Amino acid sequence: MQQRYVTLPDGTKVPALGQGTWFMGESQSHAEQEITTLKMGIEMGLSLIDTAEMYADGGAEMVVGKAIKGIRDPLFIVSKVLPYHATYQGTIDACQRSLKRLQTDYLDLYLLHWPGTVPLNQTVDAMQTLIMQGKIKRWGVSNFDVDGLLPLIQAIDDKQLMTNQVLYNLSRRGIEFDLLPWSRQHHLPTMAYSPIEQGRILTHPALIHVAKQHNVEPAQIALAWVLRTPDMIAIPKTSSPDHLRANFQALAINLSDDDLACLDSTFLPPSRKKPLEML
């Protein structure tokens, strides 16, 4: 079983399956388990770790900082700035705080967490300054729909934008109508958060049926479905070693046309434009 990779617009290859950290860092009693699981994932090859200043008010970044201590160089660390911090100076200051919590000198990727009221040119200018300062390697966005991406790409140089991180799973397929086709047209990889809908879809009969055909768990089928295309990165969160191993094993699952048809028959593809969903 091997990790798969997605190529970013600047040519960087990143793991298709990474580790999410939403809800980590919220309890001191769980911190050691969270750190241990992140380290285990790194050893497996899940070297992309996604976090954000919002998660547990920086607590998740502190957990990640402890997990990556001494093993930083081979990793791909992603964090995010809140939109109400995303003025020019606010973005630079927020990045510095994230770096301190993560105990690292740089981020591999820095994202604007969702669209806000701050003019995008301020955030973009700050991202470029952070790159020149060596504090981030590249930048992108999160929770942006087509109408938010259009003015952004018109205002920046080609290949500056590295990814758009959005909610995507079997029960949240709205992006397939227009956002995914647009992203593919512009060679912009998608990073999917909550790829198994935080477990809420795992008792669905269709998912259970396909899982039985492969002799695996429903969560592995849900994750394999998100990872079925070469331009998709998935960042499931888990602090369970068993779930972590199961997530990694999902990389080896190849869904057949019959499997996909079964899932499509109950998790319906979108037939019209829908507002971008967020959690």
What angle in degrees, to the nearest 10, is found between the helix axes of 120-132 and 88-102? 50
**Cα separation of 97 and 78, whole Å?**
14
Active site residue 55: yes
With left for phi above 0 and alpha for psi between -120 and 50, is residue 138 left, alpha or beta? beta
**Cα separation of 79 and 139, whole Å?**
10
Helix residue ranges per DSSP H, the chain? 28-44, 59-68, 88-102, 120-132, 146-154, 179-185, 205-214, 218-226, 241-249, 257-266
Residue 170 is encoded by which pair of tokens? 């079997």
In DSSP terms, 172 is beta-bridged to 169
In the block, tokens 């990045």 appear at 95
Is residue 4 within 8 A of residue 16, CB to CB? The reply is: yes
In DSSP terms, 43 is beta-bridged to none
* DSSP β-ladder status, 48-50 and 76-81: parallel
Exactly one of 55, 110, 168, 193 is catalytic; which is it? 55
CA 111 to chain centre: 10
Cβ-based neighbours of 23, under 8 Å, separated by 6 or more: 55, 56, 60, 237
- The CB-side HSE value for 165 (13 A sphere, CA atoms) comes to 27
Instruction: List the catalytic residues.
Output: 55
